[in-house]
Structure 1
Amino acid sequence: MTARKVITGASIVALLTVGLVTVVLDDSDPAQAASSCAAPAGVAVGPAPAGGVAGFDAEQMKNAQAIMNAAKSLGLPVAAQLIGIQTAIGESTLRVVDYGDGAGPDSRGLFQQRANGAWGSYADRMDPTISATNFFKALQRVEGWETLEPTVAIHRAQRNADPNHYTKFRAQATEVFKALGGESGAAVDPSGVCPAEGNQVVGDLAGKWVKPMEGAINSSGYGPRPAPPGTAGGVLANFHYGIDFVHPGGPGTIVALTDMKIVKVRNLDGLFGTGVTGQTVDGKLTIGMYHMEAGSVKVKEGDTVAAGTALGTEGATGNVTGRHLHMEFFAGALPNPMVPIDPTIDPTPIMKEKGIL
């Protein structure tokens, strides 16, 4: 089947059924539909909660406020506000520090800006608003920064020795951002990308099954087990409701096991982290795939994707001790299943029967 994009609009709509999949087609102008997608504008900054957030004190939250305000003053979207906080956490833990790290002994301030003339005077680099403004101007010079994974965009602006240095600070940055009013801007799609509309059909739907992460190792099975040390107990205290996979040597690409409709995209939930939930096109199973890298999700709610379609990157978001993919299987077509409210089923016999375990 040729992949077909669903364009929303007020035109006449036809229904075409292909096997078990219903694809919606219409005659709207794609260019017009695409133009409706715009990155949310930067949000006004709210007061910092008493006592701080996510381990950050009042001084650090005040600096985060200055970063968000600097982005808004430049007319930048919420994605930039979140990126700015993420960068400053990675550089200075949101403090205006009067010293540099080993890679840049002359680096100063929230963003560890060098004394090379590109970042202004010493006073500029030590001023939260001016240093943040200069960071955002550098970010704007990164071609296509809005469409890049946030860590990549930051690295190209900051040129850290480790290109992945900023990844681990995304979850903290999101908590700070939300606490300062970011949640009101419908902002926190951690990708920072203005996405295509949902309701697309991606790939050829053939009903096959594939491994969820090529080259990965099955690291934990379904059934009774104590909660791993370092994680919150609660519903996970005595039972593992899913099956886990780890890709050795580095994060793997997580793909759709089979043809499925994406019904839920999670962005940094406290338990699940970043992830997606899909229903098989025959309606018999709902599959959740969690703990992906923040900002890595490539699909939208409403999309129908073929087996093998990239969904995101293996990560360590949510209630975890380390990087892995956690999957949960539910019987039937559920819109937003949650353990233990909705009973899970053991994925093992199904995956073995399909030849992918």
Structure 2
Amino acid sequence: MIARKVITGTSIVALLTVGLVTVVLDDSDPAQAASSCAAPAGVAAGPAPAGGVAGFDGEQMKNAAAIMKAASDLGLPVAAQLIGVQASIGESTLRVIDFGDGAGPDSRGLFQQRANGAWGSYEDRMDPHISATNFFKALQRVEGWDTLEPTIAIHRAQRNADPNHYTQFRAKATEIVKALGGEAAALVDPSGVCPGEGNQIVGDLAGKWVKALPDAVMTSGYGPRPAPPGTAGGVLANFHYGIDFSTPGQAGTILAITDMKIVKIRNLEGMFGTGVTGQTLDGKLTIGMYHMEAGSLKVKEGDTVAAGTPLGTEGATGNVSGRHLHMEFYAGALPNPMIPINATIDPTPILKEKGIL
């Protein structure tokens, strides 16, 4: 164990590092720290860097800038700008194309919008700013768009045969938005969480802890790994952002691992499938528990549950190759953490310290 103190401004921070987990004991004012973490407004897009970004050329970057401006003109945050660029990469590779495909022969423009009256005239669909504006207006009509997995938000704004189609373009969209946003976007976390909180847990994790699946075995650890056969690749292909447990024989009942408040319910939502996100009652840790059986959830958003409370049934929903529980840990109280946007931490040292692994 390594212990050291860091003095920042008027606060003294003691850092205790155990394995990959950093526990931060901070005497600074948490309210003051939180005030600097408000969800950022949309940033102005500057000129495209010479040579392009992430394999996209000057024309494509100009179109990305038009998308970002359309979001900013509507008063939307960086999260929307990212979603817009992500959607356009998935639809047209950021080019204003004058043709459709087999599923939509009348689709046109950056967002491949159909000639059904919902997206304006042909000229509107071929205009980068107008087509982006119409996309964002549709996005705003999606209830809770800013709390959904981005690919699902895009899918609900304009349907795609595969709701998870856009996931693979998130990393490149992030590179583009940061490149065009310059210093204003360099440290932006599009979920509105403080940049750099990453793998720091503030204070000690107290309270009762239990096994989430009492009779299960851990089947996959945290860290680099090839994508399991039968699962989607993309940005999630080569790293496992949590740990997996599976019960031999029949599916087990998944329990709340500690006292927590349920802040997010997912029902057959993208790569997560069905599951819950909970925050420890002290706000020091956010826990995601996914791939549960559809229709098995026993809790709802806003519920406060004790350690050992049944949450649902082990399942195989979402981006999986078989039945199991996938569990992710995030430092702090996050309302809707998503990989790879938010930095995860390895749950293993914490579970071992609590005597449940």
TM-score of the aligned structures, taking structure 1 as reference length? 0.53
Once the two structures are TM-superposed, the CA of residue 184 in structure 1 deviates from its matched residue by 1.2
Partner of 1:159: 159
CA offset digits 1:58-88 (Å, max 9, x no partner): 1111110110111112222222111110110
Letter in 1 for 2:87: T
Equivalences for 1:35-184 in 2 at 5 Å?
A: 39-181=39-181, 184=184
Indicate if the aligned counterparts of 1:80 and 1:192 stay in contact, CA closer than 8 A: no
Q: CA deviation at 1:164?
A: 1.7
Q: Tell me, what secondary structure is at the counterpart of 1:180?
A: helix
Residue of structure 1 in register with 2:312 after alignment: none
Contact 2:220 2:245 in 1 (8 A): no
Could you tell me how far 1:219 is from its partner in structure 2?
3.5
Q: Percent of counterpart pairs with the same letter?
A: 60
Aligned CA distance change for structure 1 residues 186 and 227 (closer, same or farther; 3 Å): closer
- Superposed CA RMSD in Å reads 5.4
* Contact preservation (8 Å) 2:189, 2:341: no
Q: Is the 8 A contact 1:100 1:108 kept in 2?
A: yes
One-letter identity of the residue aligned with 2:207: A
Over 3 Å counting, the alpha-carbon distance change for 1:205 and 1:220 in structure 2 is: closer
- Identify if the C-alpha distance between structure 1 residues 50 and 115 changes in structure 2 by more than 3 Å, giving closer, same or farther: same
Q: Please name the residue that 1:210 is paired with.
A: 211
2:188 maps to which residue? 188
Partners of 1:117 and 1:243 lie apart in 2 by: 42
Structure 1 Cα separation of the partners of residues 242 and 330 of structure 2? 21
Displacement of 1:152? 2.4
SS for the counterpart of 2:119 is coil
Contact 2:285 2:329 in 1 (8 A): no
**1:129 Cα deviation from its structure 2 partner:** 1.2
Q: Which runs of 5+ in 2 are unaligned?
A: 1-24, 195-199, 228-239, 247-267, 287-318, 320-326
The aligned counterpart of 2:305 is: none
Quick one: structure 1 residues 215 and 180, their matched pair in 2 at CA, closer, same or farther if it must change by over 3 Å? farther
Superposed CA deviations along residues 190-238 of structure 1, whole A, max 9, x for unmatched, are 33689xxxx999xx9424253599978534699xxx9979xxxxxxxxx
The verdict on how the C-alpha distance between 1:148 and 1:260 changes in structure 2, with shifts beyond 3 A counting, is same
Structure 2 CA distance for aligned equivalents of residues 173 and 39 of structure 1:
18
Aligned CA distance change for structure 1 residues 255 and 139 (closer, same or farther; 3 Å): closer
SS in 1 for 2:109: coil
Counterparts of 1:298 and 1:80, CA distance in 2:
25
| One-letter identity of the residue aligned with 1:102 | G
Shift in CA distance, 121/133, structure 1 to aligned 2, threshold 3 Å: same
- Asked if the contact 1:67/1:81 (under 8 Å) is kept, the reply is yes
Report the CA distance shift for 1:83/1:212 in structure 2 as closer, same or farther (over 3 A): farther
For residues 111 and 226 of structure 2, what CA distance do their matches in structure 1 show? 36
The residue identity in structure 2 corresponding to 1:116 is N
**Superposition deviation, residue 101 in structure 1:** 2.5
* CA–CA separation in structure 2 for the residues paired with 1:300 and 1:260: 12
**1:354 corresponds to which letter in structure 2?**
G
The 8 Å contact of residues 245 and 326 in structure 1, kept in 2 or not, is answered as no
Question: 2-side partners of 1:62 and 1:243: how far apart?
Answer: 34
Distance 1:187 1:220, change over 3 A: closer
User: Using a 3 Å threshold, how does the CA distance of structure 1 residues 354 and 205 change in structure 2: closer, same or farther?
Assistant: closer
Alpha carbons of structure 1 residues 312 and 143: separation in structure 2 relative to 1, 3 Å = closer
What is the alpha-carbon distance in structure 1 between the residues aligned to residue 176 and residue 158 of structure 2? 21
- Provide the C-alpha distance between the structure 2 equivalents of 1:90 and 1:174, rounded to a whole number of angstroms: 14
Q: Do the aligned partners of residues 298 and 101 (structure 1) sit closer, same or farther apart at CA in structure 2, a change above 3 Å counting?
A: farther
SS in 1 for 2:124: helix
Distance 1:101 1:107, change over 3 A: same
Per the TM alignment, residue 53 of structure 1 is displaced from its structure 2 partner at its CA by: 1.0
Q: SS state of the match for residue 79, structure 2?
A: helix
Gapped regions of structure 1 (runs ≥ 5)? 1-21, 29-33, 230-241, 265-292, 304-308, 319-324, 331-346
Cα distance in 2 for residues equivalent to 1:138 and 1:181: 24
SS at match of 1:218: strand
1:19-34 residue pairs with structure 2 within 5 A?
Answer: none
Q: State how far apart, in whole Å, the 2-side matches of 1:79 and 1:37 are.
A: 14
Q: Distance in 1 between matches of 2:215 and 2:345?
A: 15
- Residue of structure 1 in register with 2:346 after alignment: 327
Tell whether the 8 Å contact from 1:182 to 1:188 is kept in structure 2 after alignment: no
